[in-house]
Amino acid sequence: MPNPANRFHSWLYRARPDLNCIVHSHAPHASALAMLEVPLTISHMDTCVLYDQTAFLEKWPGIPVGNEEGEIISTALGDKKAILLSHHGLLVAGSSVEEACVLGVMFERAARLQLLAMAAAKSNRFRRNWAAKLSVGLAHRNASKRRSPTIPVARRELPTV
C-alpha cells in the first residue's frame, strides 16, 4: 500500500509541471525552526541558492493524508521550491532529483545557521541590556553624588609592604 502521506505530492506535481522531484523530511534544524514557527531567513552568502525560493506555512493542518493538505501545501508553495511546514518539517522540490536534494541539504544548513545566529542575537541582546542597566545605574549613582556630596564611601586600607 502506498504511503497515504504522499498524496499531497500529486497536488504539487499537478500544480507545478516544472517539478520532477519532491523531498520531504523532518531534518532537525529545519524542524526546530518549524517548532518555533519561524520562517527561514536567507541572510548569509552560503545560503543564497535559496534566495526567493522559500515559503512558509504558518498554520499546519496536521498529517498530510487528504486532498485538503495537498491543496494547502501547493498553494502555499506557490512558485517557490522550498517550504517550511510549521510543527512538521521541510519540503523541497526541483526539476531533478539532484536539485531537490541539494536544496534540501542547503535548507537544513541554512536553518542551522539561523538557529545559531538567533541564539547569539539573544545573548548579545542580554549583554546590551546588561550594559544599559549598568550605565543607568552609574548615572543614577553619579547624580546622587552630585546632590549629596556627603555620601559615605567605604575605604579599604591597602596593606603596607
What is the binding site for Zn ion (CB under 5 A)? 89
Q: At what angle do helices 97-147 and 28-36 cross, to 10 degrees?
A: 50
CB closer to Zn ion, 23 vs 113:
23
Measuring CA to CA, which residue among 24, 43, 23, 21 is closest to residue 111? 43
Shortest spacing between CB 26 and Zn ion, in angstroms: 6
CB closer to Zn ion, 73 vs 160:
73
Shortest spacing between CB 40 and Zn ion, in angstroms: 17
CB closer to Zn ion, 64 vs 94:
64
CB 87 within 8 A of CB 61: no
3-state secondary structure 1-18: CCCHHHHHHHHHHHHCCC
Number of Cβ atoms within 10 Å of the Cβ of 108 = 19
CB closer to Zn ion, 70 vs 89:
89
For 109-124, the DSSP string reads: HHHHHHHHHHHHHHHH
Shortest spacing between CB 136 and Zn ion, in angstroms: 49
Shortest spacing between CB 57 and Zn ion, in angstroms: 12
Distance from C-alpha of 86 to C-alpha of 57, rounded to nearest angstrom: 6
Indicate the DSSP class of residue 131: H
In the bound state, the residue with its beta carbon closest to Zn ion is 89
Shortest spacing between CB 24 and Zn ion, in angstroms: 6
CB closer to Zn ion, 86 vs 118:
86
